[in-house]
């Protein structure tokens, strides 16, 4: 094509053709500035969803998105800046635990996080459930905060990978979330533009993630590590299971409260296990430990001493939040209603379909169905049983919370269908499958 035409680009990808880097850059640049309408962008995303992209296309898409706006200069922050990212899961509040633990060990955490996408939650939404907490700040204040207390977490700004911000919102409402090229480019474009020196990536697989199998998650992990390394960034990817929700809480304030309990050493064991290992690697590639094993020892000491919790308090206060939330749960928005979902038969929980739980949480009001929806910060789900637990007929499997009884009634069948009850106890699958470096 001598002159790019969006209809031709959509047609080429719809028919399975490989797009040139110039064609991909044309789409990103023109969509970012508003010259390509949402309906054509949605058609393009759906074509990519069905036909995929080869490695060269994915690299070109990631680069074009990273270059669609400003790139953050963090050179005035002393030391190695390390970031952590999850590919999305249900009940995944790890950033709220891992970042303070790593910062308490001396790592410099300068992180940009996202909002909820589809049936998965977002760190920014969770942070905004803390009274008064800001998730945006001027670049100079962001840098000053990291230099001062070692940690700052904000939402993606309009100037950082703005193409991703537009595409991210469109994917959420066009059923094009779980696409390898789109997930890869979304994550890594923001990482490359965010200015950090090193990345620890938590790549989920299973029913509660966008990657259904370990093979798909490993392919995503390898792609992202390759992109990071090509850009001169130390990058590692954990391949972790999301067959059942992480921890017991799903929702915004519900997950913050569970993260606080984890930082007190009283959280769910699966959450603590994963957070300590992610923090260990952040401390290691952040240059504060000689090995991941040393990093683990440092992270565990920060948890047991309360240093991680103190760093969380300092982080909340620095961003305008009320640090007293660590001791007073009543400072969070309280749900008006609750509803128990009961077991129809006795037995053992053999499986909890995390995707169903995520969708049920979304229906309670904890997530968005359109990109403009307001979130109910009090809404969500607390699991009463996990895989391997004994349950009696009529016993609560989980409890739904929210401000609208109609929404809870709509969510209840989804939540109930998530639980598979059998006659034999089953051990949960290993949480960490592999680490790619």
CA distance 263 to 310: 9
- Positive or negative, the CA dihedral 128, 117, 164, 63 is positive
Torsion, CA 39, CA 42, CA 48, CA 49, rounded to 10: -140
**Rounded CA gap, 92 and 209, in Å?**
10
Q: Are 385 and 244 in contact (CB under 8 A)?
A: no
C-alpha to C-alpha distance for 214 and 204, rounded to whole angstroms: 8
The Cα 426–Cα 432 span in angstroms is: 18
Strands (E), 132-289: 151-155, 198-205, 234-241, 249-251
Query: What gap in Å lies between CA 388 and CA 429, rounded to an integer?
Result: 10
Pull the structure tokens for residue 118.
């589809």
Closest CA to 221 of 66, 435, 65, 48: 435
Taking the C-alpha atoms of residue 245 and residue 356, their distance in angstroms, rounded to an integer, is: 10
Among candidate residues 120, 89, 309, 117, the one with its CA nearest the CA of residue 201: 89
Strands 337-342 and 234-241: unpaired
- What's the full length of the chain, in residues? 437
HEC sequence for 37-90: CHHHHHHHHHHHHHHCCCHHHHHHHHHHHHCCCECCCCCCCCCCEEEEEECCCC
Catalytic residues: 85, 164, 171, 186, 190
Q: CA torsion sign, 161 to 173 to 56 to 112?
A: positive
Instruction: Identify the three-state secondary structure at position 401.
Output: strand
Closest by CA position to 207, among listed 331, 84, 359 = 359
Q: How far apart are CA 218 and CA 183, in angstroms?
A: 13
CA distance 153 to 122: 12
User: For residue 345, what are its two tokens?
Assistant: 């038969």
d(C-alpha 85, C-alpha 161), whole Å: 16
């Amino acid at each position: 094509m001598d002159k790019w035409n969006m209809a031709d680009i959509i047609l080429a990808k719809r028919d399975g053709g490989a797009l040139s880097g110039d064609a991909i850059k044309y789409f990103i640049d023109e969509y970012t500035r508003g010259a390509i309408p949402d309906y054509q962008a949605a058609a393009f995303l759906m074509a990519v969803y069905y036909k995929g992209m080869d490695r060269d296309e994915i690299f070109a898409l990631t680069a074009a998105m990273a270059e669609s706006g400003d790139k953050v200069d963090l050179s005035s922050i002393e030391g190695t800046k390390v970031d952590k990212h999850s590919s999305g899961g249900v009940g995944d509040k790890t950033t709220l635990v891992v970042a303070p633990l790593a910062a308490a060990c001396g790592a410099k955490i300068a992180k940009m996080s996202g909002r909820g996408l589809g049936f998965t939650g977002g760190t920014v939404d969770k942070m905004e459930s803390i009274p008064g907490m800001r998730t945006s700040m001027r670049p100079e204040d962001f840098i000053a905060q990291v230099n001062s207390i070692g940690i700052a977490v904000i939402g993606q700004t309009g100037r950082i990978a703005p193409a991703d911000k537009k595409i991210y919102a469109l994917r959420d409402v066009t059923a094009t979330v779980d696409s390898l090229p789109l997930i890869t480019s979304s994550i890594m474009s923001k990482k490359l533009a965010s200015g950090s020196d090193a990345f620890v990536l938590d790549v989920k697989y299973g029913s509660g993630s966008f990657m259904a199998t370990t093979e798909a998650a490993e392919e995503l992990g390898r792609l992202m590590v390759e992109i990071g390394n090509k850009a001169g960034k130390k990058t590692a990817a954990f391949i972790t299971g999301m067959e059942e929700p992480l921890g017991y809480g799903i929702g915004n304030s519900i997950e913050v409260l569970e993260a606080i309990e984890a930082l007190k050493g009283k959280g769910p064991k699966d959450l603590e296990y994963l957070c300590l290992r992610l923090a260990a690697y952040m401390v290691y590639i952040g240059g504060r430990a000689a090995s991941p094993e040393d990093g683990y020892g440092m992270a565990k000491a920060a948890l047991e001493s309360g240093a991680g919790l103190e760093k969380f308090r300092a982080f909340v206060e620095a961003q305008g939040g009320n640090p007293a939330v660590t001791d007073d749960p009543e400072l969070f928005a309280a749900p008006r209603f609750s509803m128990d979902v009961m077991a129809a038969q006795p037995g053992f929980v053999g499986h909890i379909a995390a995707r169903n739980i995520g969708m049920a949480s979304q229906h309670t009001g904890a997530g968005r169905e359109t990109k403009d929806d307001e979130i109910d910060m009090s809404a969500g789900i607390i699991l009463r049983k996990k895989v391997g637990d004994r349950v009696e007929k009529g016993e609560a499997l989980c409890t739904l919370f929210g401000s609208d009884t109609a929404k809870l009634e709509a969510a209840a069948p989804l939540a109930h269908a998530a639980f598979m009850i059998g006659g034999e106890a089953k051990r949960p699958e290993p949480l960490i499958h592999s680490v790619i470096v």
